[in-house]
Amino acid sequence: MDAGELLKALEFAAMKHRDQRRKDEAQSPYINHPLAAVTMLWNHGVRDRVPLLAAVLHDTVEDTGTTREELATVFGEDVAAVVMEVTDDKSLPKDRRKELQVEHAPHLSSHAKLVKLADKIVNLRDLTDSPPANWSPERRAQYFVWAQTVVAGLRGVSASLEQAFDAEHARGTRGN
């Protein structure tokens, strides 16, 4: 993986998410999240350009005005395709989007599965360490159950990431 291309993607995502914040009490800068996802992949041995770039860019289409065409022009069709695989259809109600993530997970490409695993691991970590300001314990618990159901369909691409997910899940549900 070329460092220059990774930095270009980080710069692109930072610009796209520049006016957004995460939902934690401190309203962390949004870019911390894609940065955490790509770091998670790197720390678990992923070196392929497509999943690394797609992890950096994974929320740009869903949460900013970025289009598939723009990603394809700047980063290539292969990266754009993986980002689209992990992008929810926001015209659907939230509950349906959640169901579809579970249904789609086993059919994703290996690269998209890696990105989704990293996304779910870092979101569980955030729910334990810096949760959304107004979430009840029940709502957090529901998210842990749902994330585990999605991840059941992602298994088989990285034993190391799966272990990290299981450890994060256990840490977040300990004592519940």
**Which residues are marked as active site?**
62-63
By CB under 6 A, is residue 85 in contact with ligand NDP?
no
By CB under 6 A, is residue 118 in contact with ligand NDP?
no
Question: Which residue in 45, 138, 175, 176 binds ligand NDP (CB under 6 A)?
Answer: 138
Beta bridge partners of 132: 24
By CB under 6 A, is residue 123 in contact with ligand NDP?
yes
By CB under 6 A, is residue 132 in contact with ligand NDP?
yes
Q: How far is CA 104 from the centre of its chain?
A: 15
Question: Which residue in 36, 50, 55, 143 binds ligand NDP (CB under 6 A)?
Answer: 143
Minimum distance from residue 34 beta carbon to ligand NDP (Å): 9
Residues 17, 60 contacting (CB under 8 angstroms): yes
By CB under 5 A, is residue 59 in contact with Zn ion?
yes
Taking contact as CB under 6 A, which single stretch among the options 40-48, 67-75, 94-102, 165-173 is the one that binds ligand NDP?
94-102
| Cβ neighbours of residue 38 closer than 8 Å, sequence gap 6 or more | 6, 10, 52, 55, 56, 118
Minimum distance from residue 175 beta carbon to Zn ion (Å): 26
By CB under 6 A, is residue 130 in contact with ligand NDP?
yes
| Cβ neighbours of residue 81 closer than 8 Å, sequence gap 6 or more | 109
For residue 163, how many other CB atoms are within 10 A of its CB? 11
Phi, psi of 157, rounded to the nearest 5 degrees: -105, -25
The Cα 141–Cα 124 span in angstroms is: 10
Residues that bind ligand NDP (CB under 6 A): 22-24, 33, 59, 94-95, 98, 119, 123, 126-127, 130-132, 136, 138-139, 142-143
